[in-house]
Amino acid sequence: MRGRVYGADHDDPHPGPGAGHAYRELVDGPLHGLLLDVTGWDGERLGRGVVLATEIGAFGPGGRAVYQPRPGDAHRWDWCGDMP
């Protein structure tokens, strides 16, 4: 799996996925293409999706982006919108 992990610093020399970790790909929205580290999450938590902080969404700094598991492809999580 390739890509940059959500939360990795922009100047991190190794922002990609680490061995032994589980990831979900974020699709569309402000965090499109990033990987979310879900290592250790149980099935219930994985089924809920996430609200992630982002400065590049519709609400700027302090805003959040909502991602939900894609039906039929739980390894991709689709953007559902932004929140303040």
pLDDT in tens, 6-48: 998 878 888 899 999 999 999 999 999 999 999 999 999 999 9
From residue 3, alpha-carbon distances to 20, 38, 56, 61 in Å are 15, 15, 18, 23
Cα four-point dihedral sign 83, 76, 31, 4: positive
* Cα(65)–Cα(29) distance, integer angstroms: 8
- What band does 62 get if pLDDT is binned at 50, 70 and 90? very high
Task: Provide the sign of the torsion angle of the four alpha carbons 8, 57, 84, 68, taken in this order.
Answer: negative
The yes-or-no verdict on residue 65 having pLDDT over 80 is: yes
Residue ranges covered by each domain of the chain: 23-83
H helical segments located in 1-84 = 43-48
